Amino acid sequence: LVSSTADAQRRSRRRAGAAVNSGPTYGAHLGYNFDVDDLLLGAQLSWPFTPDLSFYPQFDYYFVNDGSVWALNLHLKWPPPTRRRVWYVAGGLNWSHASAGGNSNSDTNLNLATGLEGNRGKTRPYVEGRFILGDETSFQLVGGVSWR
């Protein structure tokens, strides 16, 4: 069998596309924590170690009435082998900090998350649900966009 020049060009484009999709993504999100009834604004980065595993840090700032609350989430993100690979699961640590009236407190928790993320193009919308498991368990839902 002999392949044509067009076949070779298509293979070359597929390999080039795979290399482009293997880099980091960064973005912003807006969400709501249902257990503390607060809006949040945040940022995230997804840095792949392999095509199937990424380092996925996030920063969340919560809009509270008194004081300030923020959290840093350090996850590992994995897309299960599905047909379109838009679904992912993530888990890791949550470090949250709250301060009000001259007092402050920090807490370390476990995070479990799942979401759907577009995987085509440079702009990738996503939605994610996250359980924060610790002394005060909570659930939050965020939606945002990532850029490659």
Instruction: Count the alpha carbons within 13 Å of 85 in the hemisphere toward its beta carbon.
Output: 10
Query: What pLDDT digit, counting tens, does each position of 43-89 carry?
Result: 999 999 998 999 999 999 999 988 999 999 999 999 999 888 899 99
CB 129 within 8 A of CB 138: no
Is the confidence at residue 9, as pLDDT, over 70?
Answer: no
pLDDT more than 70, % of the chain:
85
Instruction: Work out the number of other CB atoms within 10 angstroms of the CB of residue 36.
Output: 14
CB 126 within 8 A of CB 143: yes
Q: pLDDT value at position 76?
A: 98
Alpha-carbon gap, residue 78 to 145, rounded angstroms:
18
73 phi, psi to nearest 5 deg: -115, 130
Please give the model's pTM, rounded to 2 decimal places. Answer: 0.82
Which amino acid, one-letter code, is at 91? Answer: G
Nearest by Cα to 21 from 144, 120, 125: 120
DSSP H or E run through 11: helix 5-21
Q: What's the burial of 96, exposed, middle or buried (CB within 10 Å: 0-12/13-18/19+)? A: buried
